[in-house]
Chains A and B, each alone.
Chain A
Amino acid sequence: MATNTQIPVADRRVPVIAPGHTFSTITEKISNIVLKRPISLGWILGFLIVFGMMNMLMVALGYLFIKGTGIWGINIPIGWGFAIVNFVWWIGIGHAGTLISAILALLRQTWRNSINRFAEAMTLFAVACAGIFPLAHTGRPWLAYWLFPYPNTMNYWPNFRSPLVWDVFAVSTYFTISLVFWFVGLIPDFASLRDRAESVWVQRIYGLLAMGWRGSARHWHRYETAYLLLAGLATPLVLSVHTVVSFDFAVGIVPGWHTTIFPPYFVAGAIYSGFAMVLCLAIPIRAIYGLQDFITMRHLETSAKVMLATGLIVAYGYGMEAFMGWYSGNQFDSFLLWNRLHGPYRFVYAALLACNIFIPQVLWLKKFRVSTGWLWLISFIVLVGMWLERFIIVVVSLSRDFLTSSWGQYYPTKWDWMTFAGTIGLFLTAMWLFVRILPMISIFELRTLLPEAQVHEAAEVKQ
């Protein structure tokens, strides 16, 4: 076997994974977290907390189903409130997974191989959390299937000219394709777990999921084609989802919503918060499970750079909104700007500017990019900031529109907060189970990063 300490000559930067690994050590290290590592007390305690939070969601939703949306703080004029704020926030977070898997795969960014699996899992769980809000917000979630076109006795069909119907198709397609992508990526790793499992039942479960994968060259050939095509299809999809979400606003005539900058600005914001969530999860996970060899400082630093870049696009979006408020000469647009800076929600807007624009600028300094503590804190601040952004867009715009007689204020109730915190519980519960049940790093894709995975033409038999 070739020496495993050499680094590919083409890549003079820090290696993607730490030197000294072989096919065996990679397989062992990642699969042992699932197969051999005992369940620690810390895991159980943490699980009880997040599971408790998830049950709070069940209580909040249960009461909502009995009483209706009146238990929330929504009113007229602010009919959207927390439900849509949280929906957009979660969907945005769900963008990093497919971005990392698909777009970075097409760009041949090999560093993605270490973080794509759990970023994809994060995407699925975030989109699941997001989906709860519009369904609950319909007021009669048991009739949510009316959103889909199907032959029915009412002779009714959805209105395909409505952005809300576009949203149904965009989000459900995104969830389905993300799930397919994730599962296809898992198949060869299920086979590794199957072959390494010690108990018969564990072996059978992973065996069922692996579907008889045996690593045949013909299978790999088709597999790679399918994976590449999925990546190619998911790339425009991931850009379209938040674009369609932004249409929910941009197609409306409310000041602060009716702008053409929304699609790119929403997509950049989604990637911004998505990478923030990736860092918030990756930093503790690599420390707890000792995965510093695979999720190296290079990964964290690159993610921080992506965050910085997308944060600047978001800042440009804010700047353009403010500029257009002044330059358009439209009194409602300029009032919106004044209202954000001086109105009743001015502190929220100030906090938004601090969290999303000013504080993340420290990422220009390498010192902050390579310090896990600082990086975690900044990512957390960005997550808060992106939530505030959606609050500003939804609530502040609706609270003061064209007619002063229809102005209002929004006060979230305890049920609003319980539902929001509950979805965080649902998200973390799913992550908690995921790290112990599935390989959180793609094993077979990491193997391809080793120098001995490369086959050299010279050694092949000449024709």
Chain B
Amino acid sequence: MSDVSVYESPIHDSSSYGLMAEFDSAQELVAAAHKTHEAGYQKMDAYSPFPIEGLAEAIGFHKNRVALVVLIGGIVGLLSAYALQYWVAVITYPVNIGGRPLHSWPSFIIVTFELTILFAGVSSAVGMLALNGLPMPYHPVFNVPEFAKASENKFFLVVFSSDPKYDAARTRLFLSGLAPRMIAEVPS
């Protein structure tokens, strides 16, 4: 397959976002994604109506940073909640009740706990959406009419035209070797 990269299309077709192949099952999509990735394509994506184990790895996506965002959110929530309570109870609004200590930390645990969860939970949702680049009202893949089934029962693989190995004719030939149900060009 290495000879494909030698053959670079002289005219880069900028009106095309990539080539889309449609598959009938999750199994076929994962196999096709593996083969495409092994053939040297790097800029591609797979689309499915439900999460498929191993699909992200098959297209070469291994690590995501959602967990890191949640950790940061949780730490920020924890520190800010405790700092707020300490500042209120000890510094700005000290109330002496029966000579009890102002820094009564056991009673600060609950609000600290709740705000840790709140910040971490909101960061997981917001972080997931932000890292995914959502909301994104327009995306070229929606231009292919068959893609409406991506949220129902069909499975799609797209090789982007920005991939260095991409060539309209060669890539189409390669994809047709994966026995898809159909191949369509995705207009950008």
A residues engaging B (CB < 8 A)? Answer: 1-2, 22-24, 27, 149, 155-161, 165-166, 169-170, 173, 176-177, 180-181, 183-184, 188, 191-192, 194-196, 207-208, 211-226, 229-230, 233-234, 236-237, 240, 244, 247, 444-445, 447-448, 452-456, 459-461
Contact = CB atoms under 8 A, between A and B. Distances in A.
B63 to A, nearest CB: 9
Contacts of A22: 153
Contact of B115 (A173, A247, A444, A445): A173
Interface string B124-154: 1101110110111111011000011111110
A211 B134 contact: yes
A218 B62 CA distance: 9
Contacts of A215: 47-49, 150-151
A244 B109 CA distance: 11
A184 B128 CA distance: 10
Contacts of B61: 217-218, 221
Nearest to B93: A157
A1 B24 contact: yes
Contacts of A461: 31, 34-35, 38
Contact of A23 (B49, B97, B131): B49
Given A160-B107, A169-B110, A233-B120, A226 B128 contact: yes
29 contacts: A2-B25, A23-B153, A27-B49, A27-B153, A156-B93, A160-B89, A180-B122, A181-B121, A183-B125, A188-B151, A195-B150, A195-B151, A196-B151, A213-B151, A214-B141, A214-B142, A217-B46, A217-B52, A221-B56, A233-B70, A233-B117, A234-B121, A236-B113, A244-B110, A452-B25, A453-B50, A455-B55, A459-B31, A460-B30
Interface string B92-122: 1101010000001001101101110110111
A155 B95 CA distance: 13
B49 to A, nearest CB: 6
A149 B46 contact: no
Nearest to B87: A157
Contact of B56 (A177, A192, A218, A226): A218
Q: Which 9 A-B pairs have the closest CB atoms?
A: A211-B135, A23-B153, A226-B128, A212-B136, A221-B56, A461-B34, A220-B51, A217-B46, A195-B148
Interface in B24-64: 24-27, 30-31, 33-35, 38, 45-56, 58-59, 61, 64
Nearest to B126: A180
B67 A225 contact: yes
A453 B23 CA distance: 13
Contacts of B173: none
Nearest to B44: A217
B183 interface: no
Given A166-B111, A455-B53, A219 B132 contact: yes
Contacts of A173: 114-115, 117-118
B94 to A, nearest CB: 10
B66 interface: yes
Contacts of A456: 27
A448 B52 CA distance: 8
Contacts of B97: 161
Given A157-B92, A166-B110, 10 more contacts: A1-B25, A183-B125, A212-B137, A212-B139, A214-B142, A237-B114, A240-B114, A452-B26, A460-B30, A460-B34
B49 A192 contact: yes
B76 interface: no
A314 to B, nearest CB: 24
Contacts of A226: 66, 70, 124-125, 127-128
Contacts of B49: 23, 27, 188, 192, 215, 444, 447
Nearest to A230: B124
Interface of B: 24-27, 30-31, 33-35, 38, 45-56, 58-59, 61, 64, 66-67, 70, 84-85, 88-89, 92-93, 95, 97, 104, 107-108, 110-111, 113-115, 117-118, 120-122, 124-125, 127-129, 131-132, 134-139, 141-142, 147-153
Contacts of B114: 166, 169-170, 173, 237, 240, 244
Given A166-B111, A221-B61, A225-B64, A214 B139 contact: yes
Contacts of A220: 48, 50-52, 55-56
Contact of B47 (A161, A214, A222): A214
Given A160-B111, A240-B113, A460 B51 contact: no
A459 B25 CA distance: 12
A217 B50 CA distance: 9
Contacts of A236: 113, 117
A176 B123 CA distance: 12
Given A217-B46, A240-B113, A448-B51, A212 B125 contact: no
B115 A455 contact: no
Contacts of B111: 160, 165-166, 169
B66 A453 contact: no
Contacts of B59: 217-218
A410 to B, nearest CB: 30
Contacts of A192: 49, 151-152
Contacts of A27: 49, 151-153
A11 B148 CA distance: 33
A24 B93 CA distance: 61
Contacts of B24: 1
A453 B52 contact: yes
Contact of B88 (A149, A166, A169, A229): A149
**Counting chain B CB atoms within 10 Å of each CB, which of A180, A216, A234, A460 scores highest?**
A216
B124 A229 contact: yes
B79 to A, nearest CB: 15
A356 to B, nearest CB: 28
A222 B51 contact: no
A149 B152 contact: no
